[in-house]
Structure 1
Amino acid sequence: MRCPVNAAADIDEMGPIDYLVIEFPADRQPDGSALPMLRDLVDRDIIRVLDLAFVRKEADGSLTGMDISDVGLAGELDVTLFAEAATGLLDEGDMREAGGALQPGHSAAVLLYENTWAAPLAVALRRSGAELVASGRIPVQAIISTLDSLDAEN
């Protein structure tokens, strides 16, 4: 699993960096069922996991960091590969911001990753003087809602 980042050597060759905050309800802690899919994306060089951290928002609103080995993942997973994904790019401020999106009693995985599939495009654009000045995501729920509205109009 390719995780380490040497900023001076890698930055010119990197693809866009994204993050995800994945919330787990209080009664359904992470079970690790998605980790094989994440591993597959890494193995196929689609993404590179830079940081993977877990946090829980307590009832009083405080945040508690969780070690991946303490999350309680089920099955025969080799979590050491994900435990080693720690570049230090995610800091306490990032974790507080991620925690702000959580409901009290819920936990979350915070994933920071490079889109390695886009690295050649990003490198070519940077070399031509272009730079990415905005990006975003459209939530799947918004797409479904729009499609439902369009169906209702027809």
Structure 2
Amino acid sequence: MSDAFEDMGPVDFLVIEFPGNRMTGEGFPLLLDLVDRGVIRVLDLLFVRKDVDGSVVGLELADLDGDGRLDLSVFEGASSGLLGQDDIDEAGMALEPGNAAGILVYENLWAAPLARALRRGGAQLVAGGRIPVQALLASLEAAEAAEGGDGPAASRP
């Protein structure tokens, strides 16, 4: 195993859909903050659009910044080579026609020390996943209802 891999934290990806191709840029300062604070490292960031005919096309960062209010140049060249055409096609299948998406691959730098220690001890990740917020909220509401509460608000003071 190479030293570079040995030092890495877990790597995740997100596909974020923007209905109607509306990207306000509101999340970019927060993404930059995570990078600046060393919480994550962006490995890949690319944008795609699904046309009404179902075709998926890549978007250049310059195409997204037509109004001059959002400086995306910091993300130019964020490409590790991890994403291939099959990944882009798969992301496109999740999109509704007429919408765009950002595909983000990032390393969880905050978890790198734990990952290194576990690997040194011979441990390896054998499964992972993410619980959607909607599923978590539905589960909490069902638990509250079973206890006779009125939902998540019932547990607040």
1:21 aligns with 2:15: yes
> Does the 8 Å CA contact 1:57/1:107 hold for their aligned counterparts?
yes
Moved more, 127-136 or 67-76: 67-76
> Does the 8 Å CA contact 1:32/1:74 hold for their aligned counterparts?
no
Say which SS state the counterpart of residue 117 (structure 2) adopts: helix
**Which whole-Å deviations, capped at 9, do the CAs of 1:62-85 have from their partners, x for residues lacking one?**
101001121246564331111221
Q: Look up the equivalent residue of 1:132 and give its one-letter code.
A: L
Structure possessing the higher radius of gyration over alpha carbons: 2
> What is the rounded CA distance, in whole Å, between the counterparts of 1:75 and 1:10 in structure 2?
37
Say which SS state the counterpart of residue 20 (structure 1) adopts: strand
Aligned to 2:125: 132
**Distance 1:86-1:72 versus aligned 2 partners, 3 A rule:** same
Aligned pair partner of 1:37 in 11, 14, 30: 30
**Which whole-Å deviations, capped at 9, do the CAs of 1:100-145 have from their partners, x for residues lacking one?**
1111111100000000000011111111111001100000001111
Aligned pair partner of 1:119 in 112, 127, 144: 112
- Stretches of 4+ moved more than 6 A in 1? none
Aligned pair partner of 1:148 in 136, 141, 156: 141
Residues 56-95 of structure 1: pairs in structure 2 closer than 5 A: 56-72=49-65, 76-95=69-88
> What is the rounded CA distance, in whole Å, between the counterparts of 2:23 and 2:96 in structure 1?
15
1:102 aligns with 2:114: no
Say which SS state the counterpart of residue 21 (structure 1) adopts: strand
Alignment length (residue pairs) = 147
> What is the rounded CA distance, in whole Å, between the counterparts of 1:122 and 1:73 in structure 2?
41
**Which whole-Å deviations, capped at 9, do the CAs of 1:87-110 have from their partners, x for residues lacking one?**
111111111111111111111000
Structure 1 unaligned spans of 5+: 1-7
> What is the rounded CA distance, in whole Å, between the counterparts of 1:9 and 1:134 in structure 2?
23
> What is the rounded CA distance, in whole Å, between the counterparts of 1:98 and 1:133 in structure 2?
24
> Does the 8 Å CA contact 1:31/1:72 hold for their aligned counterparts?
no
1:50 aligns with 2:56: no
RMSD of aligned Cα (Å):
1.7
